[in-house]
Every structure is written in structure tokens, then in C-alpha cells.
Structure 1
């Protein structure tokens, strides 16, 4: 439950701390005194969107700290543990935002995101505003209320997630079906291109080898002629050749006696040179014996190179990039022929996802149908208590068209109301007056709150538009809710405030250059005086005080 809230520099508040207890707490005060700002500040601590306009004039930032006792809230403790936040019996939510638009959140002193504040806040407090009867006119609200009553919120989320997965595949399949002719033409083209490149048997070294071989074959005659010339120079020319010359030089050096060191070195170099010339001669002879011009092979090599260069121009790449092009085209062709995105595979995926969706949606439908009946009975019971004895609320579940999938499930949910016996049930927007809609909204909120796991329920002027004995019934209902947990109610109705276990009064102090809202806890006598003010207006008489005392006494019995 909410233990305390500390507010600094928020609207009309400079510094305010309020402590709360179990049971029902009423907050009253004159219009404009700041009754609702406490609840608005609590919303900030729970992650609501910050408005820099709510920062107190002349201040740079607002700060709200809300402390909750979570010792009995297992969901909150499990959530904090899963998100690595420190866990204690008291959970402190802190929100700071500045006039420049910067906002920070903290959970037990550890920084957190606004989404995390909202997620944890949803487990700690449930705020019902005075404007909820407006949202009650929307079918989306009806569906949400039934799901919450049925404790099917998680199941509804699963249905939505299954629908999104199914819809994603369905959209992809639809696009493929619409492009089937285009894809077939693309597949045929890719098959031709891949086969064309495959016949080349390309690998990164083939092009270089072919180019080298072509250059050799194209110059075969000149290479052979020059090879013979080399042989002649090295060994075969009569009279003088390199080998004979080296032998003669070595013979001269060998015959010398007492050779200087330089000639000894020269002799060694010439001997090495002779060996290398003889090896070179053997290599040239071996080459000449094996080498021959081959016009047929030359033509074949040039034809292969021509095809390679033609395909490179066709695909607008360099010849040495054709291998990568072949792999790219092959990958695309494989995806069209049998990848996860082909029509047959997507159809199978769609059928499987559809079955998964239907199982979850049917389970949700069953929970909704069961909940709708009992929820309508409870709401009608509350309507009768709120002086709408002849009214009958019906929760209608209309199945969607056969085979149609929706993210919200397999049915539409709508609240229909007959205000008098014998009248047909109609949409709330068409049949309920403002006062009737307020009471319908209140009845629904009371029923929804009575089935809520959230320990702190906050009602912001939900009793607007009612009075008299009906207001007394509202006070009784809120008191009953408070006895099972904690209820905080901002109210203008003295009958409602009289039934509260605790009572705070909001007031506004006007200074020369500023105004400030204050919040005071009332004792028994102060409660009588405040109820008298609410009953009698600006002038409180002894009779009004007596009436207020009697009202408080009756509410306490």
C-alpha cells in the first residue's frame, strides 16, 4: 500500500509530505485548493508523462517521492528481482523532472526508465479518474475491463503477440503471391545466368592462368626462335660461346702459379658461372624439346577469355569479380527455389501460426464468456444500489467473421444498457444521460476494483454528478473496498467523505506574490466542521454542524 508521498515544487506545492494508512482516505477541499494535485503527483511517481508546466513558478525542477509497503505484493517483488533492483519491505519510487524537459526516475535509489516506473507502478496503485466515464463509451475500454475482470490480461497479450506473428507471415505471403509472375520470371533469369556462369568452372586463379597461357601461345614462334638463339650463345656456336669462353678463362687461371688473392676469387666466380650456364643451357634445351606452337589450343584459350570478358560486361563487373557474382546469383536463386521465404514454406508457417493463434484466442474467448456473465450481474447489483433499480447492463460478445483473425481476439465486446424494464439494450452513448453514465461508470469501477490484485485504489472525483442517498451508497462502496486494502478518494460529496476511515482537507494560502496548497489531516471535530462546510457552503450554522455530526456518526456505525 501507499505509505507516504513527498512533493516538492509541484504546481501550488513548495514542500508537502502526506502519510497514508490502510482503509479509505478521503481528500476534500474547496475547488482550486489542490485536492487532485496529490493524485496527479502520485501519477508522476508512477511514470506518467511529465509536463514542465506543472513545475512551481520560479523553480527549476519538481520532485515527487512515493513510498509503498510491498511486503505482501509478490508480483512487485518478483518484478524487481527480475530487473535487478534492490528489494526491501518499503519500495521508494522517485521522479525528478526539470523545466528544460529532462526527466529521471529511481526505484529504491537506482536509476530506472519511465517504462520501468510504469510497469512497477501498475502493480502498486490503480488510479480511476473522473473522466473514465468518457472512455466507457469505447468498445476498447469494454474489452479491457472484461479481460481484467477475467484475470486474462496476460492471455490477451499472448493473443496479440500470436496475431502479430501470423500477420507478419501473412503479409509476406500475400506480397509473394501478388508478385508470383514477376518472381517466376526472375527465377528463370537467375537459372539461366547461374548455369551460364557454372559452365565456365571459374575459380579465382583460372583467369590469371588463361591470360598467361594465351600470351605464351600467341608468341610461340618468337619464343622458340629466341630459345634457339639462347642455346647458340650459351653452348652451340662454333668458335665462341659462353661455355667455351668460361672454360678457356678457367684454363688460364688454373695454369697460373702463385695467383694473387683477387685472381683466386675470380677463378671461383668463373667456376660458379660455368655451372650456372650449364644448368641454364639444360633448362633451355628441355624447354625447346617440349615447346611447340599449338594454334588449336590458342584458339580455345582465346574463346574462353572472350566468354569471360563478355559475361563480365553483361553483369557490369570486372572479370575477376565473376566468381562473387556467381555466388550472389546462386544464393538468390536458392532462396526462390527452396528457402524459408518461398510460397510453400510460408503457407506452412502461416497454417502453424494460425493454429497457435486460434488455440490462445479460443482460450481467451472462453474466459471472456464466463467473466461477462458474472461481471454483468455484479455491475447490475451495484447499479441497483446506485438508484438505477430498473437498469440492466448486458455485456455482449459478438464473434468476428469466420476465419477472420484480430489482434484483440475472436469477438467484439460491448456494454449495452437498458435503463428501464422492457426497453431494448442499446449502446451507452445513445441511451445514458450524463448522470446515468456517471453511475454506470462508478458501478463498473467498483466491480473492477473489487477484483483487482492491486492493493491501492485511487478514485479522483468519480462521484461527480451524483448526490443524496446515492452518494451515501458510493461512500459505503468505497469504504468496503478500503477494508480489503487501501482506497484514496478525492470527493466533493460529504456523504462519501463521512464514510472514510481517514480524512484530509486541502486548502490554499494566498500570499502577496504566491499561492501554496496545504494538506491537513483532520481529527474528529475537524471532520465535522469540514463536512458542515461541504453541506452548508460558505456559512456554517449550528444546525449544519449538527447535521454533519449526525452524518459522520451514521457513517461510522
Structure 2
């Protein structure tokens, strides 16, 4: 649950350090004092979209930090492990929003993306905003609430994945059927091109050797003449260079016996003579192997012409031919798969079957969840001044199904006895919608494992005995988890285990929200203010004290 919340320079808040307790806590105060700002800060901390308008005027950045308790073996611990984050004794979450709009998030000191904060936030807190009742009029919100109550989140994801796989297989089959002739023509062309490439038998290593052979053969006469001239000068001329160097080496060696300074020079000349001898042997071997071979030269030229013509035809360089052939082969393989209508039809049928089986499991869970939620909300309606009213959930089959399952979900309500349930959006008044919506939210929240529930003025439009029932329901919910509620109703606030008063003050022309933790005496004053408005009398104080003690008569 939430233990601490620190807020710096957020909207109207300059600096707040808040300590939260267990149970049901009420946040009260005058209209416009900034009660919802605290919940906005918590929402931002847990992944809501950041906006530069959240930074208090004149400040460079806003910063929200929160500390949460969590079970060592629970969902939060698993999330930390999955995201490579080290667990600490507490879960520390921090969000910074700069005046330029850029935001950063941290979990246990490690930077994380906003999407990660949002995923983590869904495990920590369930926040019901001011317009939660109006959201109930949307069919997608109704479906999500039913699924949350039925605990089928994993199954919903499986159905969505099965639907997408089925639809992809269906599109491939339809494309193959619609493009059969065009694909057949393209396949024929690719097969011809690959046949042409096969006849060319182009290999990068062979191509390099062919170009080297061509260079050698086309210059064979010059190579033979040059090698012969060098061999003649070195070994066959009179005098030959190699023989002269050998004689000089012998002469210098004899002189070196007289003057040792010539000995090292003699060694150098002797080495040169040895290398010249090796060069003579190598040149002779090269000249003997080298031959004028017009036939081999012609074959090289024909090979080079074929490769060059092929490359020019398909507008690539010879070095790019292997990549081009690989692309053709891959495209042909795709076309062959795409034109195998029997295989595609089998894949589409398998996808439809997998989706149908998965969707049927979801439908069965939804039917059971709809019955349970309908009964519980109907029971709650009897306590909320809607005696005889009924709540039901219609599951209407969708031909062909959808990514969300095989049925549409719609909330139905009958506000009075003997009326047939009709769509919630058509029959519920504002007050009835508030009562029904709050019941659904509380009941759906009970089915979830989220440790902190937040209600932001969700009791708008109710009062009197109904407000007393709502307060009692939230108090009971607070025994199971931490509940935070922004409220204007004294009947709700009086049922809280602890209460804060939010106020706004003006300092040096700027407005600031302040939070005051109320003790028992201060709670009497605040409940009296909520009962009597600006003029607080002993009567309203006595009434407030009775409400806090649980002894006040139900207001009319």
C-alpha cells in the first residue's frame, strides 16, 4: 500500500510530505481547494501522461515521489524481477516533469519508461476518476469492468492474440485467391530468371580467378618477351650479371683476408649473388610454363562477356549478382507459399478453430462473471434508494467474433420494479448512474488484488441515506485494502478511519494547496463545516460528533 507521497512544485502545490495509513482515508475541503491535485500527482507518478502545465508557474520542474509496501512474493516483486530491477524493502517510485514537458521516471533509483511505470501502477493502485460514471456508458468500459470482475485478463490477451493470428491467415488466403494470376506470372518470371542465373553459374571466387587469367592471357606475349629479356641479362648474356656478381663476391672475399673491413661487404655481395641465382631459376620456370593460348584467352573473354551482359541486364555490378539471385530465391519461396491455397486454407481453418476454442472459454467465464456481478449490483441497488431495481449484463453474440471475444457486453438496468432492464445509457439518470457506477466500481475492485483503491469524487449526485450506505461500503472495503476517497459528503467522510483537510491559501499573489491532518476535534469541525456550510453552530457540531461516533440518525 501507499506509505509516503512527496510532491514538489506540482500545479498549486509547492511542497508536501504526506504519510499514509491503512484503512479508509477521506480527503475533504472547499471546492477548488485542490483535493483532486493529490490524486492527479499519484496518477502521474504511476504512469499517466505528463504535461508541462503540471509544473508550478515559475518553476523548472515538478517532482513526485512515492514509497509503497509490497509482498515479497507478490505481483510487484515478479514485475521487478521481469524488468531486471533489484527489490528493496520498500518500492520507491519517482517521476520528474520538466517545464519543457519532458518527463523521467525511476523505480528504486533505476530509470524506467512511462509505459513501465503504467504497468507497475496497475499492480499498485486502482484509480477511479471524477468521470468514471460517465465512462460506464461506453461499451468498451463495460466490457473491461466485467472482465476485471471475472478475472479473465490473461484469457482476454490470449483471445486477442488468437484473433490476430486468425485474421492474418485469413488475409493471406484472400490475397492468394485474389492475386492468383498475377502471382503465377511473377513466379514464372522468377523461375526463368533463376534458370538463367543457374546457367551462368556465377561464383565470386571463380569470377576473380577468371579476371586474373584474362589479364595474364591477354598480355602473354609481353610477359614472355619480358621474362626472356630478364633471364638473358641475368644468366645468358656475355658477360651475365649473375656470373659477374659471383666473381666479384669471390674477389672481395680474398681481399677481405687482407683488410677485414671488406669482409662484411663481401658477404653482402655474396648474398646478392645467391638471390640472383634464385631469381634465374624462378624466371626460367615461369617462362617455361607461360605459353600463348588463344583458346584459353577466348574462353575467358566469353565468360567475362556473359557475366557482364547478365549484370548489365539486371542493372547490378558483377559483385552484386549473388545477392540478386538470393533475393529472387526468397521471393519465389514466398510466392510459392502464398499460392499454396490448400495450405493457406488449412492455416486459416486452424486459426479459426484456435480462436473459437479460446473465445468460447472466455465466453463461459464472462457468463459466470456477468451472473455474479448482476446479482451483487442488484443487491447493492436495494440499499441505494433503488428498491426493486435490477442490474443485468447482456452478452450478445457477434457474428464472426472480434478481437475482444465472441460477444458484445452491455450493462442493462431497470430502475423500478416491473420494468424490463434496458441499456444503462438510455434509462439511468445522473443520480442513478452515480449510485450504480459506484456499486460496480466497489464490487469490481473487490475482485482485484490491487492494494490501494482511489476514488475521486465518485459520490457526486448522491446524498442522504444513500451517502451513509456509500460511506459504510467504503469503510468495509478499507478493512481489506487501503482506500483513499476525495469527497464532499459528510456521511462518507465520517465513516473514514482518518481524514485530511485540503485548503488553498494565497501568498504574495500566488495560490497554494495545503494539507492538514485532522485529529478528532478537528474532524468534528470539518464534518460540521460539510454539514452546515459557512455558519457552524453547536447543533451542527453535535450532529458531526454523532456522525463520527456512528450514532447520528440518517439524514433525510
Q: TM-score, normalised by structure 2?
A: 0.81
Q: Indicate the SS of the match to 1:199.
A: helix
2:108 is matched with 108
Change (3 A) 1:519 1:212: closer
Find the partner of 1:470 among 462, 466, 471: 466
Shift, 1:485, TM fit: 1.7
- Please say which of residues 193-202 and 504-513 is displaced more in the overlay: 193-202
Residues 356-376 of structure 1: CA distance to partner in whole angstroms, max 9, x if unpaired?
333322221111111110111
Q: How far, CA to CA, are the matches of 1:12 and 1:284 in structure 2?
A: 96
2:348 is matched with 350
Change (3 A) 1:244 1:477: closer
Residues 433-456 of structure 1: CA distance to partner in whole angstroms, max 9, x if unpaired?
111111111111111122221121
Superposed counterparts of 1:248-267, under 5 Å:
none
Shift, 1:219, TM fit: 13
Q: How far, CA to CA, are the matches of 2:552 and 2:162 in structure 1?
A: 51
**Does the 8 A contact of 1:71 with 1:89 survive in 2?**
no
Shift, 1:397, TM fit: 0.7
Change (3 A) 1:41 1:202: closer
Q: In the alignment, does 2:58 pair up with 1:44? A: no
1:393 is matched with 391
Shift, 1:278, TM fit: 13
Shift, 1:532, TM fit: 1.3
- Please say which of residues 460-469 and 411-420 is displaced more in the overlay: 411-420
Root mean square deviation of aligned Cα: 4.1
**Does the 8 A contact of 1:243 with 1:277 survive in 2?**
no
Q: How far, CA to CA, are the matches of 1:401 and 1:320 in structure 2?
A: 55
2:263 is matched with none
Change (3 A) 1:525 1:182: same
Superposed counterparts of 1:355-370, under 5 Å:
355-370=353-368
Change (3 A) 1:465 1:212: closer
**Does the 8 A contact of 2:546 with 2:552 survive in 1?**
no
Q: Indicate the SS of the match to 1:165.
A: helix
Q: How far, CA to CA, are the matches of 1:278 and 1:463 in structure 2?
A: 107
2:531 is matched with 535
1:337 is matched with 336
Q: How far, CA to CA, are the matches of 1:284 and 1:187 in structure 2?
A: 53
Q: How far, CA to CA, are the matches of 2:132 and 2:439 in structure 1?
A: 12
Shift, 1:148, TM fit: 0.6
**Does the 8 A contact of 1:449 with 1:457 survive in 2?**
yes
Q: Indicate the SS of the match to 1:454.
A: coil
Q: In the alignment, does 2:161 pair up with 1:165? A: no
Shift, 1:387, TM fit: 0.7
Where in structure 1 are there 5+ consecutive unaligned residues?
235-241, 251-258, 262-272
Q: How far, CA to CA, are the matches of 1:2 and 1:213 in structure 2?
A: 81
Shift, 1:38, TM fit: 1.5
Shift, 1:543, TM fit: 1.8
Q: How far, CA to CA, are the matches of 1:107 and 1:206 in structure 2?
A: 59
1:256 is matched with none
1:127 is matched with 127
Change (3 A) 1:322 1:85: closer
2:371 is matched with 373
1:433 is matched with 429
Q: How far, CA to CA, are the matches of 1:156 and 1:149 in structure 2?
A: 13
**Does the 8 A contact of 2:22 with 2:481 survive in 1?**
yes
Q: How far, CA to CA, are the matches of 1:173 and 1:352 in structure 2?
A: 12
Find the partner of 2:416 among 420, 434, 457: 420
1:67 is matched with 67
Q: TM-score, normalised by structure 1?
A: 0.81
Shift, 1:309, TM fit: 5.6
Shift, 1:386, TM fit: 0.7
Residues 141-169 of structure 1: CA distance to partner in whole angstroms, max 9, x if unpaired?
11111111111112212222232333334
2:18 is matched with 18
- Please say which of residues 63-72 and 474-483 is displaced more in the overlay: 63-72
Change (3 A) 1:24 1:553: same
1:550 is matched with 546
Q: How far, CA to CA, are the matches of 1:71 and 1:311 in structure 2?
A: 69
Q: Indicate the SS of the match to 1:400.
A: strand
Q: In the alignment, does 2:482 pair up with 1:486? A: yes
**Does the 8 A contact of 1:499 with 1:555 survive in 2?**
no
Q: Indicate the SS of the match to 2:91.
A: strand
Where in structure 2 are there 5+ consecutive unaligned residues?
244-249, 253-275
**Does the 8 A contact of 1:395 with 1:413 survive in 2?**
yes
